[in-house]
Each structure stands twice: as structure tokens, then as C-alpha cells.
Structure 1
Amino acid sequence: MPKFRKKPVEIEAIQFTGDNVDEIWDAFGAAGIYGPTEKNPDHLILTTVHGDEAPARPGDWVIPDGKPGTFYPCKPDIFAATYEPVNEETCGPECSEMHTETGRCEIARNR
């Protein structure tokens, strides 16, 4: 049976610390991100792509969900297992591989 690998997808995300709501609003805009409030002093409320509300607690990652003003929270352990930091530099137009932490991709290493 053939096997398939999920294509890598780059995302933007900010980890909510409990004190950085202004940073999140500056990056993504305030639409769809509410709180903390007196009723919910320890978390944000995110509007999801389905129109529901989802809480983002300190430590959770806030991730835009494609449609403007919609987001989803991601627990830190799931985020760490799913995503890795991206080094945005590439070797050049012939290279679609992102650089490794050493600063060299496979194409550069074989030059």
C-alpha cells in the first residue's frame, strides 16, 4: 500500500503568556480575540472558524485559522509535537529546502 507524508505547512503563532494580549492583538488584530475580562481573568476567548468560542489559557498557542478574525488555541505539548521553528532563509531560487539549524540545507551541503 502506498504511504504519504503530510506536506509541511508554515504557520504564524504566538504563545499566550497571560500578559501579552497586546502583542497578540498587534500581530493578528483584535477581531475574534477577546479578554481577559472580569468574568474570564485567566484566559482569552478566541472566535473559531465555525463561529464558536474557544478559551486560550496561559501557555496555549494562538493560531490564525485561515478566515480573517478566526483562531484556534493549541496546547503547548501538541504544538511542540506538531510544529518546529522556521528559518526563513533559503539557499536561492533552486532550493526549496529550508536551512537546518546549522544554516545549510541539503543542496548547499552537496555543493
Structure 2
Amino acid sequence: MAKFRKKPVVIEAVQYEFGMEDGFVVDGRYYDKSGPVPRAMNRIPAIKTLEGRHEISKGDWIITGIQGERYPCKPDIFAATYEAVE
């Protein structure tokens, strides 16, 4: 099998804070933030990605790729994969 190295690409990223989500998952069902969302204690924040909705939690990074796509990244993976640029 051939080996490949990822090209260096500059991305934008921000650590998730409450209010940055697109909606919430409550009991397995997604509720978009633009409509009514149950005030349940077990609601999980989520963002929309090219692959569908992904649940996120405090401290996760939300990455915006070169074509405007967004996806979440756990803090430990982010720290091992990315470094700040000027």
C-alpha cells in the first residue's frame, strides 16, 4: 500500500462555547436552534457538517476547512495535529 502525507493547509478554528451550536440533540432527536428546543437537562449541543450533525462538548474545537466546511475535533487530537500560525 502506498503512503501519503497530508498537505499543510491553514484552517480556522475556535473552541466551542455555549451559543456556538447549530442545535441540540435531546433523547436522540435533533432540534435546530432556529426553532423551539426542549429545555431538557440532557440536551447535547451539535453542529452541522458535510457528513451530517455531530455532537460537540465544551472544549472541542470547531474547525472551518478551506472550502468553508465545519467539523468538530477533540482537544487532544487538535493539539497533536495543529499548531498556531501567524
TM-score bracket for the superposition, by shorter chain length: 0.5 to 0.7
Confirm or deny that 1:34 pairs with 2:35.
no
Residue 65 of structure 2 is aligned to residue 76 of structure 1: no
Mapped contact 2:11–2:65 kept (Cα < 8 A) = no
More contact order relative to length (CA 8 Å, sep ≥ 6): 2
- Structure 2: which 5+ residue stretches go unaligned? 25-32
Corresponding residue for 1:59? 59
TM-score by length of 1: 0.50
Percent sequence identity is 42
1:12 — aligned with what? 12
Unaligned runs of 5+ in 1: 25-29, 88-111
More strand as a share of residues: 2
Residues 53, 66 of structure 1: alpha-carbon distance in 2 compared, 3 angstrom cutoff: farther
Q: Is the 8 A contact 1:49 1:67 kept in 2?
A: no
Q: Cα offset for 1:76?
A: 0.1
The size of the alignment, in residue pairs, is 71
TM-score (norm 2): 0.62
- For the pair shown, the structure with the greater C-alpha radius of gyration is 1
